[in-house]
Amino acid sequence: MLTHQDKLILYALTVNCRFPYSTISKIANLKPQTVKSRIEWMEKEGIIDKYYITVFKSSVGIIRYADMFLKGKFTQEQIDKIAQIPEVGRLTSFHGNYQLIATLNSPTNERASEVVSEIRSILKNDLESYDTLETSKSRYLQRLFFLDKEEESIYDLNPNGSFQKKIMLFKPNFPLGVEDLDETDLSILEKLRHNAISPLNELSERVGASRITVEKKIVSLIERGIVGYFTVNLDYSKMGYQKFFVGFNTNDRNKVLEHIKQNRHAHSHYEYKSKWDLAITFFYKDSRDMFAYLRELQEKCTGLINSYDILTATEEHKFESFQDKLSKVYAEVRGLVAVGVVV
């Protein structure tokens, strides 16, 4: 069972998974060795799924193309085949009007269309219907719903190291277009994709560059807005939470969103070019709490919400912050840029 100190550790790792044990110990009010052992226990229990970096994908030639909502009765073998498609970044099963959602990341719309066809061919006659919703916006909201109470802001503790000050200074910057990256940049990103807490000495050996060079490269990636955060993917089901996806049709998306932003159980915000004008993922311990909040939201937003669809997640099959073999993808995109296909 998670203790309050465990949750504070997860709080710190969510903000920056590269924080040293000495920094996390101040946040959780534990000794560094205790922090280390508790993290190891949460890794063993599967609560901590993976450490990853968030990357502004368009800077490396990848776009979040769409979420593909699939309806039907699918086998585990079919799901496993879809998970093997590199452009599928996230794959989750749900109860509701759709049984499977796949997030598609792709260098081009043409390749994304090919992936849609590939998924359809895998599911064949088991696919009853589907909607491919192009994503116009996505971002995190409040991800600290698992804390027992509102905590002192981690930023008030002024944590040092782990590139945190650079992240806080440069996180508003977002590059336009595909950035100029060399093989060392790409190799660093690929290694951090698999393990965002890799020590700099280890990264240095694996990418074939000095420790100082690697550190400077990471700082540059942060300053240029390519790397956003070093963070952690948690298995919230093992923490006692259910994931809900709610798609809203509204008369005023921004007003509804402002209300939702006050809810600490609201995790992520998406906007699509069709079907729903606003979609939010929430985490609650019980579906009754989810429906109670929706009733409360409708009262607060009288006349603003026309309808909503709610899906309940049952299993997350895949989560990747960006696709593997980045050097290959980047080289292909740079070639398209050169001939004016991608700007």
Is residue 280 domain-resident?
A: yes
Tell whether 343 is covered by a domain.
Answer: no
Which DSSP state fits 252? -
Residues 6 or more apart in contact with residue 261 via CB below 8 angstroms: 141, 142
Residues 44 and 77 in one domain: no
Q: Are residues 41 and 176 in the same domain?
A: yes
Whether residue 90 lies inside any domain: the answer is yes
Tell me, yes or no, whether 287 and 310 share the same domain.
yes
The amino acid sitting at 216 is K
CA distances to 3, 27, 238 from 10, in Å: 11, 10, 13
151 secondary structure, DSSP code:
P
Task: Give the model's pLDDT for residue 137.
Answer: 82
* Relative orientation angle of helices 21-28 and 4-15, to the nearest 10 degrees: 130
CA 235 vs. chain centroid, Å, equals 13
Q: Residue 148: inside a domain, yes or no? A: no
Domain contains 150:
no
Q: What is the 3-state secondary structure (H, E, C) of 266-282?
A: EEEEEEECCCCCEEEEE
What pLDDT sits at residue 178? 87
Range of the domain at 213: 4-58+156-234+322-338
CATH number at 308 reads 3.30.70.3460
Answer for the pair 279, 245: CB distance below 8 angstroms, yes or no: yes
What pLDDT digit, counting tens, does each position of 175-233 carry? 778 889 999 999 999 999 999 999 999 999 999 999 999 999 999 999 998 998 899 99
74 and 87 together in one domain: yes
Domain with residue 36: its CATH number is 1.10.10.2890
What pLDDT does 104 receive?
94
Distance in angstroms (rounded) separating the CA atoms of residues 290 and 310: 10
Report the alpha-carbon distance of residue 4 to residue 38 in Å, rounded: 12
Q: What is the pLDDT of residue 83?
A: 97
**Would you state the structure tokens that stand for residue 236, as one six-digit string?**
């919230």
Any domain includes 149: no
Mean pLDDT by 10 residues, the chain (343 residues): 92 92 90 97 96 90 88 97 96 97 90 95 97 88 80 62 81 78 95 94 96 96 92 94 97 95 93 92 96 96 95 96 87 72 51
Both 326 and 314 in one domain: the answer is no
- pLDDT tens digits, 290-330: 999 999 999 999 999 999 999 999 999 999 988 888 888 88
Same domain, 18 and 165: yes
* Same domain flag for 275 and 310: yes
For residues 63 and 250, give the distance between their C-alpha atoms in angstroms, rounded to a whole number: 26
The pLDDT assigned to 142 comes to 80
What pLDDT, on the 0 to 100 scale, is given for residue 338?
59
Let me know: does 297 contact 282? Beta carbons within 8 Å: no
CB pairs under 8 A, 24+ apart, for 313-316? 313/92, 313/93, 313/94, 313/242, 313/243, 313/244, 313/245, 314/93, 314/94, 314/95, 315/92, 315/93, 316/90, 316/91, 316/92, 316/93, 316/235, 316/243
Domain count across the chain: 2
Q: Are residues 104 and 175 in the same domain?
A: no
Tell me how far apart the alpha carbons of residues 325 and 267 are, in angstroms, rounded to a whole number. 29
Give which of 253, 319, 244 is closest to 288, Cα–Cα: 244
pTM: 0.90
Q: Report residue 275 as tokens.
A: 């079907």
Cα 96 to the center of its chain, rounded Å: 22
- Same domain? For 101 and 216 the reply is no
Does one domain contain both 268 and 289? Answer: yes
- Using left for φ > 0, alpha for ψ between -120 and 50, and beta otherwise, residue 63 falls in beta
Co-location of 16 and 73 in the same domain: no
Cα separation, 66 vs 213, whole angstroms: 36
Give the pLDDT score at 68: 96
Closest-CA residue to 179 (of 223, 239, 235, 117): 223
Q: Are residues 27 and 88 located together in one domain of the fold?
A: no
